[in-house]
């Protein structure tokens, strides 16, 4: 093909047809440019096709990760609901003497909230540097918002919550001087009389400082219940988007 074009150019020059030669040269340049543009377009199409395959694979993996995250969120939500119920019942109960001692000890405890997550999949996805998601556009934008914004914010709130739990634990272990907590199943406490121990614990529960601790923990649990429910709804929304995209 190159020899063919070269022969045409040589014939035009030999026949002293300069104007035709220039027209031919311009036409040849145009053909080369068109060829380059077509090659670039084909390369772009191929790259887009490869990107769509990569995005599809990531979509499948994110679907599984979301399933596990939502499962953990629902588990934590049930724990929070139960703790919230216990605190609420304790604060409203005017007959604490009717509650067994072991139950009272359980009710005054405050607990950490721990949702384990390591953003390995998100980091791996971002390292692909794909910026045009095609039919997966809304999915990956929502995923980046969910894992890149909402999750770090949620982890920050979790840390604040757990620091508050640490402070409350410090009170029960080292600051109050009225009641010895029972840390083992053999009731290994200095005062063996459970009736006397129960009276001391009830006195503490009725004190303003303990009631404030219980109320504060109850308020935190209410807020985290709402936050986790929102995370579950957002995660389930993305799951539905993924299911629709994978049907095509």
The candidate with the shortest Cα–Cα distance to 54, out of 65, 46, 43, is: 46
Whether the pLDDT of residue 63 is over 60: the answer is: yes
Task: Yes or no: say if 237 and 136 are a contact pair by the CB < 8 Å rule.
Answer: no
Task: Work out the pLDDT band at 148, boundaries 50, 70, 90.
Answer: confident
pLDDT score recorded for residue 232? 93
Which residue's structure tokens are 């406490």? 189
Whether the pLDDT of residue 136 is over 60: the answer is: yes
Which residue's structure tokens are 């400082």? 209
Whether the pLDDT of residue 21 is over 50: the answer is: no
Task: Yes or no: say if 204 and 178 are a contact pair by the CB < 8 Å rule.
Answer: yes
**pTM here?**
0.76
Section 202-229 average pLDDT: 93
The candidate with the shortest Cα–Cα distance to 166, out of 114, 208, 225, 112, is: 112
């Amino acid at each position: 093909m190159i020899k063919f074009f070269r022969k045409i150019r040589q014939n035009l020059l030999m026949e002293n047809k300069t104007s035709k030669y220039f027209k031919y040269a311009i036409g040849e340049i145009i053909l080369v440019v068109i060829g380059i543009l077509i090659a670039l377009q084909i390369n772009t199409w191929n790259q887009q096709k490869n990107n769509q395959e990569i995005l599809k694979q990531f979509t499948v993996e994110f679907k599984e990760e979301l399933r596990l995250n939502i499962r953990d969120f629902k588990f934590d939500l049930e724990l929070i609901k139960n703790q919230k119920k216990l605190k609420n019942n304790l604060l409203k109960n005017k007959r604490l003497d009717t509650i067994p001692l072991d139950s009272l000890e359980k009710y005054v405890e405050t607990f950490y909230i721990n949702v384990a997550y390591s953003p390995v999949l998100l980091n791996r996805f971002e390292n692909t540097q794909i910026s045009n998601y095609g039919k997966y556009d809304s999915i990956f934008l929502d995923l980046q918002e969910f894992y890149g914004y909402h999750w770090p914010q949620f982890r920050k709130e979790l840390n604040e919550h757990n620091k508050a739990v640490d402070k409350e634990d410090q009170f029960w272990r080292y600051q109050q001087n009225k009641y010895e907590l029972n840390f083992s199943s053999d009731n290994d406490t200095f005062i063996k009389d459970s009736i006397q121990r129960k009276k001391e614990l009830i006195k503490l529960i009725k004190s303003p400082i303990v009631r404030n601790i219980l109320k504060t923990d109850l308020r935190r649990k209410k807020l985290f219940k709402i936050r986790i429910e929102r995370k579950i709804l957002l995660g389930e929304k993305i799951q539905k988007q993924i299911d629709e995209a994978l049907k095509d």
